[in-house]
Structure 1
């Protein structure tokens, strides 16, 4: 009787878990899309100064209050989040491309594998923030400099994961059989290896997002990222520090919470997408 009950309820519990996972992905992705679309609809002319409404606390008219120039902090925060998402998207895609190229280069021979392993260890030995600042300054700063800086410092973890996966796949019988039939390394990589690591690539790209956004905000906060006129979260937080002593707590609290929530949403979406795409984690 107990066994029959288990057999009846087990598929239901699994179905509920899958439904719950899909629902979580849907909600997080929907919120992220809403943030992106809203930020794109906001023009720079919408963030206007209004000296008659300076330093107003949060209210129904100004949900996040206003700053020292009378600008609506809710609109500035939404615009800044959209800018952070754009930079995070560009940086994560570039990082993934670098990781894919280097991980497949590892599969050529042992010399290339040792060389890539040395590069990974070299980049991991340098603090991310310091390297991003140096790259951003050398490229003239701005969104381009920050995007490239973040992209060139966040590929290491995904490269290690893909490198280990490719090494394991290369020991399989079907790869050895293809080599005996004279198939080229490029053909084996395209037909055998790439389809098996595509899940890791997708999940890895999504999980790079929150790290890219946080590092972009950190570098901008320190003054080495985006220009001061850009409505970036890092700039908003940096400017707000000057006014905390005067009691304007809302200037830093709400943009900081919004950035934290955005990062958590990306992290939740990545973890749940991994459950759907990766059968091992889904079974767990």
Structure 2
């Protein structure tokens, strides 16, 4: 007799969870960083300036639900001061980084396209600026320009352009010897046509990445100049001024006056670093399709 067959229940096939590609992760990271930065400016608009009013009845309060960042020695809300200070520091840092990136691309293109003599002079200028101690150059330029927002912007713009200019110069020197550039010249294309259709599309990703990665340095150095007393006045909140004012109160146990604004600055600067690295992943031809 044949043994009865035993039918086993069928197990449903488990659909594997699709893995996120590097490009998808980069897009998600960029969107998250941009969303946080937009929310920061929206929060500054919603908070307004009411938290900057002096209130001696609520002075030196520790962080709580009513005051998440506590209050300072004048009863001002530290959350409001931190958010407004971050927005002000970001605006100054972004403007300074934008000016510095324009200087970088202009001098980089001049060094890569205007012959050996111009290249030698600009290369010497780049090496001189990079060899100068960074903080000393920032302080000297800011002091010479009278301090304030204008002095910070000029100081950061003057001191941060060499690295990006060197990258653009090296990219141009490599592109000039490419086969498609020589072919375009043999076909009778003008230098302006070659620059617009061949050089600019190759330089734009490098410029954008360099610009984004320049933001953290500009923001930190702008805050550092204010911390040292060469930047903004204490009448307007800024992260550098908050840290400078809080140093005298750390020894008395009011840790939140420096720790929370400092961590907020580090977190915001790190977001720009993440944004720049993921933008590089999106724009780099070697990783854009992974």
TM-score by length of 2: 0.89
Contact 2:49 2:80 in 1 (8 A): no
2:81 maps to 1:76? yes
2:274 maps to 1:268? yes
Distance, in Å, in 1 between the alignment partners of 2:216 and 2:175 is 29
Partner of 2:205: 199
More moved, 116-125 vs 171-180: 171-180
Secondary structure at the aligned position of 1:152 is classed as helix
- 1:127-152, Cα deviation, whole Å (9 max, x unpaired): 22211111111211111110111111
Distance, in Å, in 1 between the alignment partners of 2:276 and 2:178 is 29
Structure (1 or 2) with the larger CA radius of gyration: 2
Partner of 1:253: 259
Q: 1:85 is matched with which residue: 90, 95, 110?
A: 90
Q: 2:235 is matched with which residue: 221, 229, 235?
A: 229
User: Which residues in structure 2 correspond to 1:114-125 (within 5 Å)?
Assistant: 114-125=120-131
Distance, in Å, in 1 between the alignment partners of 2:61 and 2:49 is 21
Task: Note the C-alpha offset of 1:177.
Answer: 3.1
Q: Which runs of 5+ in 2 are unaligned?
A: 1-15
Q: 2:248 is matched with which residue: 242, 246, 256?
A: 242
Secondary structure at the aligned position of 1:280 is classed as coil
2:205 maps to 1:218? no
Partner of 1:101: 106
Task: Note the C-alpha offset of 1:191.
Answer: 2.4
Contact 1:104 1:189 in 2 (8 A): no
Secondary structure at the aligned position of 1:224 is classed as coil
2:159 maps to 1:150? no
Distance, in Å, in 2 between the alignment partners of 1:191 and 1:225 is 42
Distance, in Å, in 2 between the alignment partners of 1:119 and 1:41 is 46
- 1:215-242, Cα deviation, whole Å (9 max, x unpaired): 0111110000111212010000000001
Distance, in Å, in 1 between the alignment partners of 2:138 and 2:45 is 26
Q: Which runs of 5+ in 1 are unaligned?
A: 1-8
Distance, in Å, in 1 between the alignment partners of 2:31 and 2:184 is 40
Secondary structure at the aligned position of 2:21 is classed as helix
More moved, 30-39 vs 208-217: 30-39
TM-score by length of 1: 0.91
Q: 1:38 is matched with which residue: 37, 43, 65?
A: 43
Q: Which has the higher helix share?
A: 1
Secondary structure at the aligned position of 2:159 is classed as coil
- 1:233-253, Cα deviation, whole Å (9 max, x unpaired): 000000000111111010000
Distance, in Å, in 2 between the alignment partners of 1:202 and 1:100 is 11
Distance, in Å, in 2 between the alignment partners of 1:95 and 1:37 is 27
